[in-house]
Amino acid sequence: MDVPVGDGQTIAEQRAVTLLQWVLTHLRVNTGHGLLESLSLTIETETHPRGPWKSVWEAAAKLFRVTTVALGRSKLHVKEIDIFSSIDRCSLACAETAKVLKRVNMSESLKSPKAMSLSLSHQQSKRQEGVQMLPPAIGRGNTQAITCLLNMCPKLESLHLHWYNLDILNLTQAQKEEQHFFDRIADSCPIGRLKYCTLQGIHTSEQKLHYFLRRPRLRSLTMEQIRLDSGAFRPIFEYLSLNMRKRQYLRLDDFGKINCSTSMAQGNQTSLVLAALTYLIL
């Protein structure tokens, strides 16, 4: 969350968790199969870019904590989970996942998800005055919690990761760790069944991205606004072009200096951004 919040739950949060846990438990018991088709977290946000961002981030964090703690305690299985990826100007602070995993074991409820969508942002912003900067270890712990969450999903086939940039000019070491959460996912999350992947706003390196994309079952790939801190896109595009037979859909958009248009897949034919391949021969 953009505004640091203590790990302790408020009375209102505790009551909300208790009520939602009761509802989810009854769903598990009375549905017969104990499975919820989808769970989507959203917050109503202002359309104006200078709207009340602080209240939006706080509400998102509280909603995430209440929902996930209640879900974990209810042991209800969920097939698809969307955490703020379907709305604009809202994201989840990296630290919130770590807070939840300290409170509840999510492993039972996360046995069934085949699709996970997750929008993340920094834990704190320099727009706040008098906020103590977090040490690097905190940032590493926050990203590790995210990998733990994903590794609890053994059936995951679809993954959508989005990084929401806040207006921070000089990142602390902890914030840099958070911004590169994808690097830890590439290293620590096998996701052997991954077929569909969307990456938006991700900060990484050529090496980490290349390693992640070598998932053997990956069929559909969308990458937008990817930023490499080291290396180049050329080897990535070369790898994708040499392995096109494995892909059914490929979309690349806004790669810094590369301006890519998009096209849609037709039947079993592969969709490819021609601008990306053009870049290879320039």
Going from the N-terminus, what domains does the chain have, and what CATH number goes with each? 11-280 (3.80.10)
- C-alpha radius of gyration, the chain, whole number: 19
Structure confidence at residue 172 (pLDDT): 85
Mean pLDDT by 10 residues, the chain (282 residues): 46 94 95 90 72 79 96 97 91 94 96 97 60 79 97 98 85 90 97 97 97 94 95 93 86 66 37 43 36
Structure confidence at residue 109 (pLDDT): 97
- Burial-class residue 159 by CB neighbours within 10 Å (0-12, 13-18, 19+): buried
12-16 CB contacts, 8 Å cutoff, 24+ apart:
13/62, 13/65, 13/66, 16/66, 16/70
Structure confidence at residue 161 (pLDDT): 98
**What is the chain's length?**
282
DSSP, collapsed to helix, strand or coil, labels residue 218 as coil
* Tokens linked to 281: 């021969």
Number of helical (H) and strand (E) elements in the chain, helices listed first: 9, 10
Structure confidence at residue 1 (pLDDT): 26
Structure confidence at residue 272 (pLDDT): 46
* Phi, psi torsion values for 236, nearest 5 degrees: -65, -50
